[in-house]
Amino acid sequence: MLKRHARAACTALAAAGLLLAGTSGATADSAPPAPAPASAATTLRTADAPPELLAALQRDLGLTPTQAKARLAHEAEAGATAARLRARLGAAFAGAWVDGADASTLTVATTRAADTAAIRATGARAQLVTRALADLDGARAALDRAAGPTTPVRYVDPRSNTLVVEETEAGAAAALLAATGTDAALVTVVRTAEAPRPLHDLRGGDAYYMNGSGRCSVGFPVTKGTTHGFATAGHCGRAGTTTTGFNRVAQGTFQASVFPGNDMAWVAANAQWTSTPYVKGSGGANVQVTGSVLQPVGASVCRSGSTTGWHCGTIQQHNTSVTYPEGTISGVTRTTVCAEPGDSGGSYISGSQAQGVTSGGSGNCSSGGTTFFQPLNPILSAYGLTLKVSGSDPGPGPGPGPGEPEPGGTWKAGTVYATGATVTHGGATYRCVQGHQAQTGWEPPNVPALWQRV
């Protein structure tokens, strides 16, 4: 569906180009046509995916080389389209996801029949459902406050338009629903034999050691002013915990940590360590990080960890709640990627976009499993960190036209913008459609995948 939409868009642009070519010589003072805005795939640099990442997608998702490359481009476009539709549909929005080996089909759900034509006009499939995403999220939040180890995972499944509760004992979910007064019609109960736990035994993915003993994995290198360091999982250490690197050289100290509730932390490194814009990929190769745009349900995602290395899977649900023996964490993303103890804190990346840090899960990388990651953008925002990125500046966008003000306003590089945030730039107002950390070259007029003029 998205490919058809892309063809239509290209046809329209080609037609517009012919019209401009036919009239450009009308006067000597005619202004040249403004360059077309960058596509989502261009903004997120999917064409620059390294061979190691593409090879892992082929191995873990059973893709051909062509499908792996196409999937990354389609996921980028789907994320942008879904984000714009979410803003347009408002309270009627009921979720979005991608399907197909190359992620070429985007489905957007709504509770309002009148929205289906607008959804289809973007090239996406429209699905009419009875429950809005916000309503199901509200019901999940009520369950979170009373859940225990026998109902360890709760999440909204947009495909079934239900709230899923996993139980380890028969009747546990029913008891939770009764205790919270939750309508059973909203809920799908799934029996599971696995209970998630933080994966502690304790460049992204490299090992580090806490207080000289337990081991976790670096999430994403960051800076805070002139200080270098990295984001990681909160359950790996508390403020004041010291770390040594993969080579057992003194490395740094945990500056802040939250767990449970969330699973986030950051470590400030000493002068011997320098942040790099890389995640350790297959065979130790460097995978570049160019941004932090969270990808949609169904998108591919790869994880780097110091125990099991590089593995890929897909995003199953965002905003999931998990109850570990130590307590409940909320707002994590559920994936099909495997992990094992020691992988905690490690990097999740989709294409070149940082997604989050490994929190916990169940199963292993021999028989398969389910894992959860703490999204990265809330960590960057909470602690005022700047993600280390490489080659992200696509160059200056079109300058101001005659009579237009110079760029400026409230938009600022380095700020983490959540979906729905508004800024001004160049005399116009823009609404964020996909959460991300802003960077030079990603000014709102340049990246319609991330910003919508209002």
* Catalytic residue IDs: 235, 263, 344
Q: Report cis status (omega within 30 of 0) of the bond before 65.
A: no
Task: Using the structure block, give the residue that is written with the tokens 């509770």.
Answer: 111
What are the structure tokens assigned to 126, written together? Answer: 């429209």
Cα-based angle 432, 434, 435 (whole degrees, multiple of 5): 90
Are the CB atoms for 396 and 432 separated by under 8 Å? Answer: no
Q: What span, in angstroms and rounded, lies between the C-alpha atoms of 353 and 376?
A: 10
Residues 6+ apart with CB under 8 A from 280: 203, 204, 205, 206, 286, 287, 304, 310, 347
